[in-house]
Each structure stands twice: as C-alpha cells, then as structure tokens.
Structure 1
Amino acid sequence: MMLTHVTAMSQNRVIGAANTLPWSLPEDLKFFRDTTKGHIMIMGRKTFDSIGAKPLPQRYHIVITRQDLVSTNPLVKYVKTLEEAVEAAKPLTAQWGDEVFIVGGGEIYKQSMNITDRIYLTVIYKDFEGDTHYPEIPANFELVAKSDRTEPVPFSFLTYEKKK
C-alpha cells in the first residue's frame, strides 16, 4: 500500500480558510478528481464536512473523527485515529487500488507526513489568507516531477517521492 498526500497550497502554505478553498482553480480540482477517482481517501471530519459530508463519486472515504459516528453509506467509514484509518484501508486496496490518498486537513497531513510515500502538491504562486496550512516537506522527499501553468494564476503541479 502506498500513502499519498494530494493537496493544493498557496506560496505562504495556506490550504484552507474557514473550511473552504480560498481560491478557484478548476484545473487543480480536475487533477484531484482524476487522481483520486477509484481509490480510497483518508481525511479528517472537517475536510469531509467541506465536501458536503457525503461521498464523492467513485471513491471510498475513511473519515477520522473524535465523534462517535457510524456511517450508513457503504462508501464511508468513520475511525478515531490515523493508525485506525490506515489499518481500515489495507483490506480495501484489492478493490480500490494500492495507492491510498490522504486529502486533509492540515492536522491529518502533519500526523501522516512520516508515513507518506508520495506527495502531489499544487503550489499557487500567490499569498492567500487562511487558517489551515500544509506542513514543511521533510528533507527525505525529493521533487521528481514539475509541470508549470500560468492561467488563471501562476501555479505548478509538483510530485515528491520519499527517497529510498
């Protein structure tokens, strides 16, 4: 099983503001959709709430929450910890693919950085106000791919992989 972060951040590391994205970047949303479709996504409850508290099509959702929640939706499972989320994902990879995506929020990214294998990071070269930030990428990751864009604002799709 490969654990992969997928996120977008501003140049001042903002990834969210009041539980929403502080920008509109359709190409990045398409990248997120195309990348995560058919896979398992691990996320915090606030991130799940930000997508409408219902599953995105063609994805399995493991939601980390301190609340005692039970899902009636077969595509959503609630767990208490990141470790429990990873364990819950393992038996599902045969159906949903070996790459499991960690999609936020800030605290989940921070907790999972040391067990992450790959990072898909969209960097928007502009500062935004926000209350949630992406952690620093550790030195044991290397940039393996970069694709630059200029519209509607300058941004890049970056791929980092943990050094072997």
Structure 2
Amino acid sequence: MWCHDQGKEGKDYRSLKAGDDVLTITLDRALEILAEPKSGRGRRGAAKPIRELGAHPEDDEPVNIYDGPYGPYIKHGKVNASLPEGQTVEGITIETAVEALAAKAGTKKKSGKSSKSSTSTGAKSTTKSSTAAKKTTTAKKSTTTKKSTAKKTTSSTSTKKKTGS
C-alpha cells in the first residue's frame, strides 16, 4: 500500500503491484502507480439487458430482461420480477412481463410515504414501547410488593408473638 498526502484534498492510496516492493520502490514508480485510476471493488458498471421487451404501456419506460445471480428477471423502473414459470427469455411477451411486474408491485410492502402508513407504523411502535414500559413497571411493582409483603409478614408475626405471649 502506497500513500500520497495531498494536503487539503486528503490522502490518496494505491496498492502496490505484484513486482513492487515497499522497501525498494522508486519515487518515479510510486508516482506512476499514483497516476493510474483507482480500481474500485466490485464496480462492474450498469448491467446490460439480455433482451429488451419494449416500452411499458402505462408510462413508456423500458421493460427489459436481465440475467441475475438467481436467473433471468424482468425489470421496469425499480420493480424486479421473476420470469413466470414455464416462460423462457426468448418466449416471453411484453404483456406477460407487464402482468408479472404488476403482481410483484402488488406484493411489495408499502413505503412510509403516505400519512396513513406512517401514522399506523408510529402507533405500533408506540404501543410496543408502552407495553414494554408496562411490563417493566409491573416487574418493579411485583418486586416491591414481595419486599413489602415480606415486611408485613415479619411485622404481623411479631405482632402475633406479642399478642400470644
């Protein structure tokens, strides 16, 4: 690993190549390595579709089929849907793809953008926290009750002894 301090811009790091040794590298070689663009981790760019189906009938955005780690999938905007069973990449039509995307969009969980969903989410979290607070309070009360019960038992026992003697 080689580091170059650039002042206000910060530090610029590069890994040494296989033939370079940190103890014997020359300044010219170090500057040559620093001049090369950084190579990022796992950045392979935007995925290219394996088949373009056409424009979506509602908003004219493209509907494409991509190859993913779990097989081919249909993509429209931010919605990804699996290919319907029995369909192939070559055999799928835009209508079938739109139906699969609509089914997938219908099963998606709602985001907290609408006021109703954010209110109900807030109510649920408040209920959970107040329930937890009640349990804690109840636990404290029962512990306190046990102690006071023990004291009452002791005091009533001593009162009985005094009365009985």
TM-score if structure 1 supplies the norm length?
0.15
Structure number with greater Rg is 2
Task: Tell me which protein shows more strand as a share of its residues.
Answer: 1
TM-score if structure 2 supplies the norm length?
0.15
